[in-house]
Amino acid sequence: MTIALRGAGLALIVLLSVAGCAAEPMPVPTSEPQPSRTPGAITTDPVLRPGESAAANLQFFDLVGQRYQASNGMGTSRSLVDYLVEKGFEKADIEVTPDVTAINIPADAIVVSVRIKGECLIGQFSASAYSSAIAPLLGTGKCLVGETLPIDW
């Protein structure tokens, strides 16, 4: 009888364990919260950090550059400068290469730079790609070597 009671007790424990598992609600898969795009909402996009280093502003520079390239391809030198100014960069700190060559054919790429605290954010735009780098300010006080456009508009 002791063995029968042990067997019945074991069966009761197994039954209660299974019943306890079934009584708990099944977990519901959840998705990661998405940042809201409503005014005043918290966003995860990088932001311009005036007064901070080039490294602190690289993510924002890249976000702006990638969005410009996705919408415009290489675009034009002027529209690129105007876009950077619209996004908060100072026009006086920007240099840009021409979008046409000396023989008046479209350039393969436009290079733009922004001086920030003795360093340079440099972006290169082609019809199909955008890339960037941080470089030291040149001895000339500029970021780019060679011909750049006067930004006097």
Residue 48 phi/psi, 5° resolution? Answer: -70, 135
How many whole angstroms separate alpha carbon 149 and alpha carbon 57?
Answer: 24
27 half-sphere exposure, CB direction, 13 A CA radius: 3
- Residues 18-25 have a mean pLDDT of 44
pTM (global) more than 0.75: no
The pLDDT assigned to 44 comes to 82
Q: Residue 64: pLDDT above 70?
A: yes
Please give the share of the chain, as a percent, with pLDDT higher than 70. 72
If one compares 76 and 29, the residue with the highest pLDDT of the two is 76
Q: Residue 145: pLDDT above 70?
A: yes
How many whole angstroms separate alpha carbon 70 and alpha carbon 67?
Answer: 5
The pLDDT assigned to 40 comes to 61
What does pLDDT average to over the chain? 82
How many whole angstroms separate alpha carbon 130 and alpha carbon 74?
Answer: 8
